[in-house]
Structure 1
C-alpha cells in the first residue's frame, strides 16, 4: 500500500472522476467520496455533515485531499444561496481544517469567476472581484482554505469539459444539443470569452502539484491553469459543427451579454506560474471535444438525427 494517500471529494462529478483516475494511475492509494452518485469504488458522504466527514477521513488517514465537490452552476447558486454557502464555504472550511489537523495538504479547486473579467489575463497576485454569488462563494472557499493552512493549494480553473454522463454535465458539451435542435433558429452568445480546459489536464496538474510538493515546500498558495483557446459559446458550437461536419445554419451569433446571472466578459487566467514549475498540460480544444463527443454524435446518427 502506498504511503501517498489522497481523498478526492466530488469524485462522481465531471472533474472528480478524472482526478480519481489520475491518482490511481500514479500509484496513490485513493478514496473517492460522492454525495449521491456512488458506485463500487466511491464512498457515500455528505461533506456538509461535519461529524461524519471527520470520521470517514480520519479513518482513511490521507496525506492529501483534492476538494472537487462544489455547486458550480452559477444560475443554480442564485436559486439556493444558503445551500451553496454550506457546500462551497462551510464544508470547505471543515475539510481544510481537518487536513491541517491531520498534516495533510488540500488542493481546493476554484474558478476564473473570482475575477470580474475587465483586465485579463489574470495572474495569481491580481485582486479578485467576483460578479456573481458563485464567484463570491468560491472566493470565500479559497480564503478559508488558506486560513486553515497557508501550505494548502488553491487551483483556479476555467470552464471544464470532458467525458460526460449526460450532455448537461458540462457547460461546454451541453452546446452540442443546440446543433441537433434545428427546428428553430437560435441565437448563441458570442460575447463572453472563455478558455475551456479538459478535465484530464486539470487532473494531471493536481497530481503533479502534490508530487512536486513532496520535494519543494514552496509549492503552496494560489495557482492558475486555463485552456489556451479564446472561445465564446458560439465559437465552441462552430468548432463542434466543424469537427463533426454538422450543419449549423440555424444558429447565429449573439453579440449581446448573456441573460441571467452576471458573468465576467473575459476572465482569462495566466498559466505562467505553473509553467515556471514545469507543470502544465493542454489538450487542444478540437482534439479534446472530438474525443469527448464522438460517442454522442454516433448515437445521434444511429437515431437518425
Structure 2
C-alpha cells in the first residue's frame, strides 16, 4: 500500500526516469534523497525503509511518497537507489533487478563475495544497468583525475590512505552508530574507496597481504596485474588531528596526488545518477558496475581473511610479573 502523492508531485513523463530510494539513514537523508529530488531527468517516485516513520519523513521533505511494500515500489520504478547496510542491500538488489529495475548501489555491494555475486548475476540476467557509488569515482575533480592517471603508463607504485576519526572518543558523527561499520570496520567501509582508485590505475589485484594496527586499522600490501605494487592504510579510529585521505602515485612520469577537496556528496551522487541513466540508455556497462563491485568485494573478503589470520598469529606483548 502507498500513500497518496502530495499535491504538486510532478507526473511521470517518458523523458524522465522513475527512481525509488531504499533506505532512511543519514546517508539517504543527506546524499541520495536530495540528489534524486534535484535531478532534472528523474522522477523521485518514493521511499521505502525498515523504519516507516523515517521513510515518511524523507518523503515529506522531498515531495514524494512513502511505501510500506518494497515490491510495490519496484513495480512503480525504472530504477532504484539503495542506501542500506551491505548485507541488507544485496538481497533487495537481487529482487529489484528481477523486477526489472536498474540498480544504483552503495559500496560495498555486500560483505561476502557470494552476496555480491548474486547481485551481479541478477543484474546481468535481467539485462538491467548497475552502478556502484564509489565516491572518488564520481566526485568533481577526483573522477577525472582517476581517468587521467589510468591513461598514463609507467606507474610502479602507489600508496592510498583513508584515516577517519569516526570511532575516536570525541566523535559526534551520526555514522558512528552504524552497526555494520562497527562490526566490519575500516577495511569494509573505506577500503572500497581505496580499491576503486587503485584498480583502474594499476590493474587488478593478483596478490595481497594484510596486517592490523591500532583499533580497526588495516594495512594492505597489493600486487597488481600491471606489475606495480601498492599499499593502503585504512582506519576509522584515527585521532581527528591525524585524519585525512589521499592517494599518491609514483612512476616514470613523476608523482601524482589525488586532488582534495572533492565537493558535496549530493553533487557526486548526482554524477552517479547520470552514469546509471547513460548506461541504461546505451546498454554499455559502466566501469563501476555490479561486476566491478563484486571484484572489490572479493578482494576485501580475501584481505579480511588475511587480516584475521595475521591478528591471530601476531605475538602477544610480554608482561612482567
Q: Which of the five TM-score ranges fits, normalised by the shorter chain?
A: 0.3 to 0.5
Larger radius of gyration: 2
- Give 1 or 2: higher strand fraction: 2
TM-score by length of 2: 0.40
TM-score, scaled to structure 1: 0.42
